[in-house]
Amino acid sequence: MSGTPSGEPDTGVPEPNRVSRRGLFGLLGSGAVGLAVGGAGGAALATAAGAGNPGGSSSGAVPFRGAHQAGIVTPAQDRLHFASFQLLRGVDRAALIELLSDWTVAAEALTRGAELGAGGAASGPPLAPPSDTGEALGLGAAKLTLTFGFGRSLFETKDGEDRFGLAERLPAEFTELPAFAFDLLDSATTGGDLCIQACADDPQVAVHAIRNLSRIAMGRARIAWSQLGFGRTSSTSQSQDTPRNLFGFKDGTANVMAEDREGLAEHIWVPESHPQEWLRGGSYLVARKIAMTIETWDRASLSEQERIVGRTKGEGGPLSGGAEFDAPNFEAVSTAGGPAIATDAHVRLAHPEQNGGARMLRRGYNYVDGSNPLGQLGAGLFFISFQKDPATFVRVQQSLKADSMNEYLRHVGSGLWAIPRGISPGEYVGQALFTKSA
Ligand code: HEM
């Protein structure tokens, strides 16, 4: 699959602001590309995605380009559509670059709230499928962010193959997550070559983005699995109220927030001293699909629920006393004589004090995937965390082995992706991985 489909010489650096012919193929369908490119409307269709869209609304738009990718410290939006992609057999380095370039052009339009393709959803050639699927028309940008990640398999497959000539760019710390106690991982919701985290304040905007990015990927990558999330379970800015998870508890109180620049530099962003240039200013994303047996949880008493979490259910203050944002005191003793925050309470075991100072930025979402024949909800937390080194997550998750909350949890999906730094004007997502020296 090397070389451009149009027969032009392959420089490895696609033209910025232009969807490749192969990307158009996904948007329009094979017959329509021939019709459109060969016909009078061809030039217009091949121009920048969304460039001619008069109907899009950029109000509520989050800039797509910047030093870091958006969707990490961006105040957590209300909705999620997370997708893991598998690259198809036969896709080579040039095709991968072309895909990332096409995704960049489209992501820029989508995050502006613009339609894809010059003809958008309803103004293109009548005999071709519309280049934009249309369901986000009139919904605006809705604070959409698209965060792109690279799986370890991009650098080395399970069989040790270097498919894309990237093996020398593999960061030393980028190892697969180990198996954890109580893992019940389903391969159908685990891993992937690439990931896209789409977050927005409107669910249809997030779904529209993943749907259209998936169309553009046609012939190069397919969605391996995806997950919808309907309620954020973290604050990533002090300007936000703390939301609640499906256990009914405030979640995201003790998080690394956007305002904590020192904390972000120390724990979340890959430092400038990192040997791999492409990853400096980036991060690592861990996703865990955690099923919660909420019917059993709902039968636990209030005091038992609070004992398990280590915080009060109402205000979210630590059981050692104080208000929500007061620091927990793990030495404090309860009136009954034992530790005020139980030794197997979630917040004790997850706290940096118990984990050599390790901190992460949590950005997860509640989900409900329907219900089973017994009438139980397929509910849970789609946990997402960002950290400068996957070892941080591993350390905390290993500490949680003793967590009394485990009785109500099953980790059923998992993934780890390197998040390249943000991009400057004219660059495509992850460009430094393919162009700069290590
Ligand atoms: C469904 C599973 C989970 C639920 C329901 C849950 C719930 C909570 C709640 C209610 C809090 C207290 C409020 C807060 O500080 O945000 C909390 C804190 C925390 N959780 Fe979880 N959590 C889950 C899984 C995880 C996992 C898998 C990790 C990481 C491996 C994790 C890491 C943390 C951390 C680091 C804190 C803050 C601890 C502190 O500094 O006080 N949680 N979680």
Is-contact 221 88, C-beta < 8 A? yes
CA distances to 58, 211, 407 from 201, in Å: 14, 17, 33
More confident residue, 48 or 148: 148
pLDDT at position 58 over 70 = no
188 within 8 A of 51, measured Cβ to Cβ = no
Q: Whose CA is nearest to atom 43 of ligand 1?
A: 251
330 lines ligand 1 (CB under 6 A): no
**pLDDT tier, 158 (very low <50, low <70, confident <90, very high otherwise):** confident
Local confidence band at 3 (pLDDT 50, 70, 90 cut-offs): very low
> For residue 2, what pLDDT is reported?
35
Q: Whose CA is nearest to atom 30 of ligand 1?
A: 397
The answer to whether residue 46 scores a pLDDT higher than 80 is no
When the pLDDT of each residue in the chain is averaged and rounded to a whole number, the result is 90
**216 and 198 in contact (C-beta within 8 Å)?**
no
pLDDT for the residue 45:
31
Q: What is the pLDDT of residue 89?
A: 94
Between 59 and 66, the more confident residue is 66
Query: How large is the average pLDDT for residues 261-268?
Result: 98
What pLDDT does residue 162 have?
Answer: 96
In angstroms, rounded to a whole number, what is the distance separating the alpha carbons of residues 226 and 328?
36
Q: What is the pLDDT of residue 13?
A: 47
Residue identifier of the C-alpha nearest atom 6 of ligand 1: 251
- Locus of tokens 């972000």: 264
Angle at 235 between CA 233 and CA 405, to 5 degrees: 40
The answer to whether 111 and 146 have CB atoms below 8 angstroms apart is yes
Torsion, Cα of 306, 308, 310, 315 (10° steps): -30
Share of the chain above pLDDT 90, in %: 84
Measuring CA to CA, how many Å separate 133 from each of 116, 124, 216? Answer: 8, 12, 12
Token readout for 116 is 């894809």
The answer, yes or no, to whether any atom of ligand 1 lies below 6 A from the CB of 215, is no
- Residue to mutate (ligand 1; options 383, 403, 406; most atoms within 8 A of CB): 383
HEC-encoded secondary structure of 368-391: EEEECCCCCEEEEEEEEEEECCHH
Q: Lowest mean pLDDT: which of 28-37, 154-163, 317-326, 424-433?
A: 28-37
What pLDDT score does 11 carry?
37
pLDDT in the model for residue 20 = 76
Best of 233, 235, 250, 251 for a ligand 1 pocket test (most atoms within 8 Å of beta carbon): 251
C-alpha–C-alpha distance, residues 59 and 139, integer Å: 10
Nearest CA to ligand 1 atom 10: 251
254 CA distance to ligand 1 middle (Å)? 9
End-to-end Cα distance, the chain: 26
Residues 249-267 have a mean pLDDT of 97
User: How confident is the model at residue 98, as a pLDDT?
Assistant: 97
244, 253, 286: which is closest to 78 by C-alpha? 244
pLDDT digits (tens, 9 = 90+) for 416-431: 999 999 999 999 999 9
pLDDT tens for each residue of 394-409: 999 999 999 999 999 9
Lowest mean pLDDT among 57-61, 243-247, 254-258, 277-281: 57-61
The average pLDDT across 183-204 equals 98
Split at pLDDT 50, 70, 90, the class of 22 is confident
Please tell me the distance between residue 347's alpha carbon and the centre of ligand 1 in angstroms.
Answer: 6
Measured between alpha carbons, how far is 171 from 187 in angstroms, rounded to an integer?
A: 25
Determine contact, residues 204/76, Cβ cutoff 8 Å.
Answer: no
The span from the CA of 74 to the CA of 79, in Å, is 13
Q: Report the pLDDT value the prediction gives residue 195, as an integer from 0 to 100.
A: 98
> Domain boundaries in the chain?
152-190+230-422+431-438
